[in-house]
Amino acid sequence: MGAGKTTIGRQLARRLGLRFIDADHEIEARTGASISWIFEIEGEAAFRKREADVIRDLSAEDGIVLATGGGAVLNADSRRYLRERGTVIYLRAAIPAILARTAHDKNRPLLQTADPRKKLEELLAQREPLYQEVAHLTVDTGRPHVQSMVQTILNRLGELQAPAPQAMPAIPNQTLQVDLGERSYPIVIGPQVMGEAALLLAQVKGRQAAIVTNTTVGPLYLEKLAAPLRAAGKQVVEVVLPDGEEHKHWGSLMQIFDALLSNKCDRKTTLIALGGGVVGDITGYAAAGYMRGVPFVQVPTTLLAQVDSSVGGKTGINHPLGKNMIGAFYQPRAVLADTASLQTLPERELSAGLAEVIKHGAIIDPAFFDWIEAQISALRAREPQALTHAIRRSCEIKAEVVRQDEREGGLRAILNFGHTFGHAIEAGLGYGAWLHGEAVGCGMVMAAELSQRLGYIEAETVARMRRLVDAAGLPTRAPDLGAGRWLELMEVDKKNEGGAIKFILLKPLGTAVIESVPTETLLATIDHCLR
């Protein structure tokens, strides 16, 4: 109710050259009584029976746009008639918007209570699954005006009527477990993860949830996550940060804390990180610090975040003198990786994520490295089966490393292959000039070159690494920061001990070692990789 079905329905019918019918008006015409009178005298059950009869009759007609009542979906026969006989458009509205539209409408009997918000929350919790069951299209009503909404519906209807591409087999959700005892959590991977409200609701135990996102991802997916939470009676706090690595700093962290405190969020509040690695890292660090620790959930929307940064509990922010130097180990309650979100990912961001996929094969699984070489074109073309396998195998590898070394006391440091060079590139050029994955891709080529100079791998392995990084759309030539600046930047690294710079090296492909290296060999490697 109050989503604008009548207003939008009339406009849509006019644009399509069809006849508009409002089901409630038809009931009133048949009975000679108002909806509120029927509710008061006959009761809701009798009204629903009349409503079902009207929908049975009207759904059999051709050439109409029919606006139903908000509760029509409660009748199983009505749901079947609507779904089978027409195209059903669910106009999804947030509770504050519905309250604003219905505040002075005395013709809505279900809202004539002392607490209409609570009643709406109860109704949405009951009806939302039924709306999703019956709808062919779901359209959020947050657009600025009716004409924009109608055009969106027309565009979506055109997509439905277009010739369907050859059907691809459905890819079911896949679930892995990060085994950390009492801190264990699932990683759910699939093409409709964000659409399955139960996955998220299962993680939000308290009455409040704070969704942290950015200005790029928010318009695409924020309402999709927030709507079922609100429908379930949760208070949702929205925090929208600026987009970009350059905003992974103290000021963004304070923006999250400001929102939590001003909304009186308690220690049962769940933080939800909706976005890429920057959003995930900052949100996780905020969750670790707020009231000394509140639960948080990762909903990664970039390939890099889905295969790497959302898994393992590393959280933090950057400092002008070093990347990720301020943070905490703090595990999420779940990672919900929706592969469909990768379809809206810019090409450059997709390539950045492939760097971390390549990394996992290079340090642990040479057969996976071979597979990536064979499938790199499919991965860049976003073929669902290839992406799903790449994400799953990357998460399996990282989950096993984290299980053995949660706080990077030894083994886990191998996940930083290419990162010592990569972090220096990011800091040296200024955060945001290169994407993190671009810097890591180039850093892996430099680390492979350094490994070969030390006699650990063959020249052909370096060539394979360079070809694969290039095929992924990533840079392979290092920027000229100056020898002194390179050394200065690499000295600020969490792996370093006693002033010695530590590198992750291949010995051979598929096996990683952590070592310091002679300065002259390091400088020769950097010089070679500049050309």
Give the model's confidence band at 37: pLDDT under 50 very low, under 70 low, under 90 confident, else very high.
confident
- Among 214, 222, 294, residue whose Cα is nearest residue 260: 294
Catalytic residue among 128, 408, 426, 438: 408
pLDDT at 308: 93
The verdict on whether 356 is a catalytic residue reads yes
pLDDT at 477 over 80: yes
pLDDT at 101: 66
Catalytic residue among 392, 412, 464, 466: 412
| Residue in this structure with the two tokens 């052909």, named with its chain if needed | 460
Structure tokens at 269: 């509040």
Catalytic residue among 314, 359, 453, 466: 314
The verdict on whether 268 is a catalytic residue reads no
The verdict on whether 323 is a catalytic residue reads no
The verdict on whether 436 is a catalytic residue reads yes
Do the beta carbons of residue 375 and residue 386 sit within 8 Å? yes
Structure tokens at 226: 């927030």
The verdict on whether 412 is a catalytic residue reads yes
Residues of the chain with pLDDT > 70, as a percent, come to 94
The verdict on whether 408 is a catalytic residue reads yes
pLDDT at 295 over 90: yes
Residues of the chain with pLDDT > 90, as a percent, come to 63
The verdict on whether 360 is a catalytic residue reads no
Beta-carbon-side half-sphere exposure of residue 94 (alpha carbons within 13 Å): 15
249-254-255 Cα angle (round to 5):
100
User: How many secondary structure helices (H) and strands (E) does the chain include?
Assistant: 21, 15
What is the C-alpha to C-alpha distance for residues 91 and 9, in angstroms, rounded to an integer?
10
Amino acid identity at 2: G
Q: What is the pLDDT of residues 332-380, one digit of tens each?
A: 999 999 999 998 899 999 999 999 999 999 999 999 999 999 999 999 9
Q: To the nearest whole number, what is the mean pLDDT of the chain?
A: 90
Structure tokens at 178: 């990060």
Catalytic residue among 92, 416, 426, 453: 416
What is the C-alpha to C-alpha distance for residues 531 and 152, in angstroms, rounded to an integer?
50
pLDDT at 110: 59
Catalytic residue among 292, 497, 520, 531: 292
pLDDT at 276 over 90: yes
| pTM as predicted | 0.66
Handedness of CA 511, 330, 257, 240 (dihedral sign): positive
pLDDT at 108: 60
| Domains, in order of start, for the chain | 5-161 (3.40.50.300), 174-345 (3.40.50.1970), 404-530 (1.20.1090.10)
The verdict on whether 292 is a catalytic residue reads yes
Q: What is the pLDDT of residues 215-269, one digit of tens each?
A: 999 999 999 999 999 999 999 999 999 999 999 999 999 999 999 999 999 999 9
> What is the phi-psi region of residue 32: left when phi exceeds 0, alpha when psi lies from -120 to 50, beta otherwise?
left
Q: Which residues contact 344 (CB under 8 A, 6 or more apart)?
A: 220
pLDDT at 320: 87
Handedness of CA 343, 345, 351, 357 (dihedral sign): negative
- Please state whether the peptide bond connecting residue 508 to the residue before it is cis, i.e. omega within 30 degrees of 0: yes
pLDDT at 471 over 90: yes
